[in-house]
Structure 1
Amino acid sequence: MRSILELLCVLSAFTATGYSLTCKLCVGQGSSSCIGTSETCPPDHGCGAVHTVTKIDEKEMNIYLISCVPVKKCNTPGSISITNGKIRRGTSCCHTSNCIPPAPKLPADDKQANGLFCGTCVTEASDNCSAEEMMECTGKEDMCLFQTSVTTGDISVQEALRGCSTKSYCDLSKQSVKSTLMNVETTYSCTPGQNRTVTAPPDPENEGNSNGGRYPSVTLITMLLLFLLCSKW
């Protein structure tokens, strides 16, 4: 009986208006743990773990993050694909101060074509790029993602990409990172994947902005990781 009452007290405190947890904040390589300091979360946040695996050609990077995460974004695995790479992300949460979240589950690296197609492009010269090529989507990636990144400060970069995505990435909508050195704003917008191959129409406002390449640079991948892993939720 006592344990039930204690549980009800915890749940009551968590749902009360203005209640905030204290969570660890750390980033590390690998997929199991990291060590860092604590931060006070905004209301309606839990302590979340985010495990992201980025694979471009044959190179793979594992990043593990613990920080404050909105409750509605807990346990929302997702992935993004471009022509020669994929980013997979898993999240998990716990809901007491300084708790350690369970190990996140990554979405499967499903290579089975789902019959949908999206335009794809990558550029470091603009916050837009024209999807002059089409790629076939796989697994649960049934949305066409358009992601933009604008960095100001000591580093000034405008970048954009288009590719296949799960809806969970689309739901991120907008994120930002602010530091003494730079500010980074990223936005995500999506449309449903197409059920047949079509020629992507030219974008009159963006002709010449695409770098014509299908392969993101080290800079772009670094910024993607910054947004996906280190942004304030």
Structure 2
Amino acid sequence: MKSILVSLSIICAVTWTVDAGTCNECSKVNSDTCEGKSCDCPNATQCMVVSELYQVRNKSYHSIRKACNPGFPCGGLYISNFNDAFVRIDIHCCTGENCNTDNYKMPPEDIERKGKICPACFGDGLTECISSNTERCIHPDDLCGDYVGKIKDPGNNIKEFNFKGCVSALGCIYKLKALIGVEEIENIRFTCVPGK
């Protein structure tokens, strides 16, 4: 997450040519809105609004980021499901001067599950969770994720946890670095393998 914020800050710190576009820039954890400043972007860059839903057991957090799009794919980027936990990110892109003024919005979830089957469990601590539970993934290209590590959640709580469950293919590439409200403190393992 820090690397993405740093790269977004660098993008705004650079002075671009006169014909460069502008986007709003701000980021706020545990909020549906953020008010930003206008930021210069290179010609080919779109603006984006990143909406994040992070849900663990009975707690749910929304977070938002507005910025120039440094090349992230538009639409659903990261969807993870595990027992008692859920993470979802949507990137809304637009073109035009400061067009990314919208606030938090998450499209309805595609409830028809078309993917493969993955083991599913969620646990506290730095040991691998073991469970006979499984889940069918949402998309055909979703993979089975297996994570053990320590994070700081959107409520500023540092937690050790582990999960197994469905992760989007892009989520497996970006891993926790794509998240707004979650900061990874220690990564012991994050692997993705095809489901059955």
When residues 149 and 48 of structure 1 are mapped into structure 2, their CA distance, relative to the original with a 3 A threshold, is: farther
When residues 20 and 175 of structure 1 are mapped into structure 2, their CA distance, relative to the original with a 3 A threshold, is: farther
| 2:187 maps to 1:165 | no
> When the two structures are aligned, how many residues end up with a matched partner?
170
| 2:173 maps to 1:136 | no
Separation of aligned partners in 1, 2:96 and 2:144: 37
Per the alignment, residue 123 of structure 2 pairs with 123
CA drift at 1:89:
1.9
Separation of aligned partners in 2, 1:184 and 1:41: 31
Separation of aligned partners in 2, 1:115 and 1:20: 39
Q: After superposition, give the CA deviation of every residue in 1:14-73 in whole Å (9 maximum; x if it has no partner).
A: x99xx897651221623xx4213567789x865421112344566544333224543133
Residue 185 of structure 2 aligns with an amino acid whose one-letter code is: V
Partner SS for 2:120:
strand
Indicate the RMSD between aligned Cα atoms, in angstroms: 4.3
Q: How does 1:48-87 map to 2 (within 5 A)?
A: 48-56=48-56, 60-87=60-87
| 2:35 maps to 1:35 | yes
The TM-score normalised by the length of structure 1 is: 0.52
Relative contact order, higher structure (CA 8 A, sep 6+) = 2
Higher Cα radius of gyration: 1
The TM-score normalised by the length of structure 2 is: 0.59
Q: Percent identity?
A: 19
Per the alignment, residue 26 of structure 1 pairs with 27
C-alpha contact 2:22 2:38 (8 A) present in aligned 1: no
When residues 79 and 139 of structure 1 are mapped into structure 2, their CA distance, relative to the original with a 3 A threshold, is: same
C-alpha contact 2:176 2:184 (8 A) present in aligned 1: no
Segments of structure 1 that go 5 or more residues without pairing to the other structure are 1-14, 195-233
When residues 80 and 92 of structure 1 are mapped into structure 2, their CA distance, relative to the original with a 3 A threshold, is: same
